[in-house]
Amino acid sequence: MSHLKFCLLTLVAILVSFNSNAKVFRNAYISFEMPDTWKCVLEQTEWVCRSDPEKFQKEAKEAIIILTAKEVGPTDSLLQYEQHLNAPISTVGRNGATSISKIQYKAKQVKINDQVWIDGLHLGSEVNSYFTRYMATVKDKIAVLVTFSAHTAFYAKYSNDFHKAIMSMRVIATKNMIASPGSSGSTPGGDPFGTGGGGDGIGAEVMPTAKGGSSLKTYLGIALLLGAIGIYLFMRSKKDE
């Protein structure tokens, strides 16, 4: 029994550490989990999330998450997003020079928490030497784009945080909700992949992760519990032989 108790205590410690190191960002159209040290602020028409720049100035420059939403227009569909992300993206730098992004993997449809997203990864599509993972979707009247960017030297460092955020994403916009009138880029047909995609301008809430966490955590917890029981039964059978 001591082995089983040890495994169960280890499981509890792991699950508690998950909950203590994450919080939930929520605005009018989306929610997702992010590291406890990250903060999100509304900058004009986009929500920008990064490590707390007041405490982690270096880390704040290594990675960034940007969220934007707009009213659905003629150019907003999963097929069009997929086609867009399966072509190189041109970017004009501060010096006026144009660069072309490199596609890291072909954009594809993925289902996350009952919502279908288009998932694509580019290098140099937003800033030179930065990987940017694009997650785009359409739900009712709202088109949503979330980008996860990190410098090539630090992408591995943040890939797990990005993965957890992506797997916890939920589109919570209501059917009657549309982007705020007067917000830049919020008119139908605006390009959600361009600068200033048109946020809703509604305040966000950042709260501790809800008890139970995401489905990913639930499945992981069950797997660890079954593994602990399996180890105990295996050791018990060896002892009885």
The answer to whether the beta carbons of residues 50 and 34 sit under 8 Å apart is no
DSSP 79-138: HHHHHHHTS--EEE-TTS-EEE-EEEEEEEEEEETTEEEEEEEEESSSSTTEEEEEEEEE
CA dist 81 and 75 (Å) reads 8
> Which tokens go with 110?
């993925």
Name the packing angle between helices 2-20 and 215-240 (round to 10°). Answer: 170
Dihedral, 43, 78, 25, 199 alpha carbons, nearest 10: 30
pLDDT at 95: 81
The number of angstroms, rounded, from the C-alpha of 229 to the middle of its chain's C-alpha atoms is: 33
**Higher pLDDT, residue 55 or 103:** 103
Burial of residue 68, with CB atoms counted within 10 A of its CB: 0-12 exposed, 13-18 middle, 19 or more buried: buried
pTM of the entire structure? 0.68
R_g of the chain, CA atoms, integer Å = 21
pLDDT of residue 134: 97
Task: Tell which wins on pLDDT, 74 or 12.
Answer: 74
* Domain ranges, ordered by start, for the chain: 1-26+207-241, 28-203
pLDDT tens for each residue of 129-183: 999 999 999 998 899 999 999 999 999 999 999 999 999 999 998 877 654 433 3
Kind plus residue range of the DSSP H or E element containing 163: helix 155-167
Judge contact between 217 and 211, C-beta under 8 A: no
> What confidence tens digit (pLDDT) does each residue in 102-130 have?
999 999 999 999 999 999 999 999 988 99
CATH classification code of 28-203: 3.40.1000.10
